Structure 1
Amino acid sequence: MFLDYIVWNVSPDIFTVPSHIPIIGGFSLRWYGLLFALGFVAGYLIILKIFKKEKVSEKETDVLFTYMFVFTLIGARLGHVFFYEPHYFLAHPLQILEVWHGGLASHGAALGILLGLYIFSKRHHRPYIWTLDRMAIVVPLAGFFIRMGNLMNSEIIGKPTTLPWGFVFKRAFEPQYATGPHHPTQIYEALAYLLIFFFLHWYYWHHTKNLKPGKLFGYFMVLIFSARFLIEFLKEPQEPWEQHLLLDMGQILSIPLILLGIGVLIWSGKQKAQKVF
Structure 2
Amino acid sequence: MSGAIHWNPDPEIINLFHTIPLRYYGLLFATGLVLGYLIVRSMFRKENVPVEKLDQLAIYIFVGTLVGARLGHCLFYDFEYYSHHILEIFLPFKINGSDFQYIGYRGLASHGGAIGILIAILVYCKRAKINLLWILDKVAIATPLTGMFIRLGNFMNSEIIGKPTNSNYGFIFESEDLLPRHPAQLYEAFAYALIFVVLFYLYSYKRQSFAKGFLFGLFLVLLFAARFILEFYKENQEAFEDDLVINMGQILSIPFIIAGIILMYLKRNPESQHADTGREIVGE
Question: Per the alignment, in what secondary structure is the counterpart of residue 14 of structure 2?
Answer: strand
Question: What are the equivalent positions in structure 2 for 1:1-277 lying under 5 Å apart?
Answer: 4-17=3-16, 24-99=17-92, 100-162=104-166, 165-171=169-175, 177-270=176-269, 272-273=271-272, 274-276=274-276
Q: Shift of residue 16 of structure 1?
A: 2.1
Q: Shift of residue 84 of structure 1?
A: 0.8
Find the aligned partners of 1:36 and 1:101 in 2 and give their Cα distance: 12
Q: Shift of residue 129 of structure 1?
A: 1.0
One-letter amino acid of the structure 1 residue matched with residue 198 of structure 2: F
Q: Shift of residue 74 of structure 1?
A: 0.4
One-letter amino acid of the structure 2 residue matched with residue 71 of structure 1: G
What runs of 5+ residues in structure 2 fail to find an aligned partner?
A: 93-103, 278-284
Confirm or deny: 8 A CA contact 1:68 1:117 kept in the other structure: yes
RMSD: 1.6
Question: Per the alignment, in what secondary structure is the counterpart of residue 206 of structure 2?
Answer: coil
One-letter amino acid of the structure 2 residue matched with residue 259 of structure 1: I
Name the structure with the higher strand share: 2
Find the aligned partners of 2:181 and 2:255 in 1 and give their Cα distance: 29
For residues 197-255 of structure 1, the C-alpha deviation after alignment (integer angstroms, 9 at most, x for no partner) is 01101110102444421111011000000000000011111000100110000000001
Q: Shift of residue 163 of structure 1?
A: 5.1
Give the direction of change, closer, same or farther, for the CA distance of 1:81–1:149 in structure 2 (3 Å limit). same
Give the direction of change, closer, same or farther, for the CA distance of 1:54–1:165 in structure 2 (3 Å limit). farther
Find the aligned partners of 2:172 and 2:155 in 1 and give their Cα distance: 12
Q: Shift of residue 126 of structure 1?
A: 1.3
For residues 140-164 of structure 1, the C-alpha deviation after alignment (integer angstroms, 9 at most, x for no partner) is 0110000000000000011101456
For residues 171-208 of structure 1, the C-alpha deviation after alignment (integer angstroms, 9 at most, x for no partner) is 3xxxxx32111111000001000000011011101024
Find the aligned partners of 1:272 and 1:165 in 2 and give their Cα distance: 51
Confirm or deny: 8 A CA contact 2:37 2:58 kept in the other structure: yes
